[in-house]
Structure 1
Amino acid sequence: MNPKVYVEAQMLIRKPTEEVFEAFINPEVTTQFWFTKSTGKLEEGKMVTWEWEMYGVKTNVVVNQLVKNQLIKIIWGEPSTNVDYEFKEMEKGTLVVIKSYGFSQEGEELLKIINDNTGGFTTVLDGCKAYLEHGINLRLIEDKFPSK
């Protein structure tokens, strides 16, 4: 494991912290900008499965910690990695900071996963911002790797 290696993406979303936090724990909202299906709402100590139907991909998500309107800590993927979502109330809205860490890859494989994580979480934050602020589903995840 590479304890000093982590990925960080952040975005100011001009909505109240309660609304932004809810968007990440409630699949009725999250499916408007990220995955397409979930087995349930995020709750501390629970496992849910997220699915991206257009790619035929799914992953289990274990919620290690959930502090309302402040923090979500999950483990997901194969090989598994840690992801923390921090929500910071600011004058103009909510700053969301996503940190991914605990990578087991090394060398070129590690560089690829860092690149994928950075781009992926940036896309998620961009989609969330567009959806929450303007009610627009930009279809960013679906269009990131379009089939012909």
Structure 2
Amino acid sequence: MKFFEAFINPEITSNFWFTKSSGKLEEGKTIIWEWEMYDAKSEVKVHQIIPNQLIKTEWGSPSTKVDYEFKEMEKGTLVIIKSYGYSQTGDELSVIINDNTGGFTTVLDGCKTYLEHGINLRLIEDKFPSK
């Protein structure tokens, strides 16, 4: 399944999300993802991988859980990203949910375009352009 491979293999993922990774996602490993244009990085702990079905991770600051589910559909692959385990509440939580929803939507848009058409739209890089 090409969409599953796109999320575990940094040679593919770096074409639509982060720019650098310390390695391929593997169950029980901790990987570093980098967004060099923003001078940002995140430690990603991989809790579980079920090939072609599920990737369970924990990352961010403060740390939250992010699951990537892959379901084969008649017309292709459905990718569902679930982010949870927040300590924030109220308006602060609403802002985080809004940011995460927008961010992961951008990732999925870039992934689909790259895998289906071979085009890197540079969506992440252009999301917050430098002055």
TM range (shorter): over 0.9
Alignment match of 1:121 (pick from 79, 104, 122): 104
Q: What is the CA–CA distance in structure 2 between the aligned matches of 1:53 and 1:99, rounded to whole Å?
A: 25
Specify which structure has the bigger relative contact order, considering alpha-carbon pairs within 8 angstroms and separated by 6 or more residues. 1
In structure 1, list runs of 5 or more residues that go unmatched: 1-17
The residue aligned with 2:74 is: 91
| Pairs within 5 Å for 1:1-148 | 18-148=1-131
Q: How many pairs were matched up?
A: 131
User: In the TM superposition, what is the alpha-carbon distance from 1:107 to its structure 2 partner?
Assistant: 2.3
User: In the TM superposition, what is the alpha-carbon distance from 1:34 to its structure 2 partner?
Assistant: 0.1
C-alpha root-mean-square deviation of aligned residues, in Å?
Answer: 0.6
Aligned partner of residue 146 in structure 1, secondary structure: coil
Deviations 1:80-136 (Å, cap 9, x if unpaired)?
100010000111110000010001112222111111100000000000000000000
What percent identity do the matched residue pairs reach? 77
**Large movers: runs of 4+ above 3 Å:** none
Q: What is the CA–CA distance in structure 2 between the aligned matches of 1:111 and 1:93, rounded to whole Å?
A: 31
Q: Which amino acid aligns with 1:19?
A: K
In structure 2, list runs of 5 or more residues that go unmatched: none
TM-score (norm 2): 0.98
TM-score (norm 1): 0.87
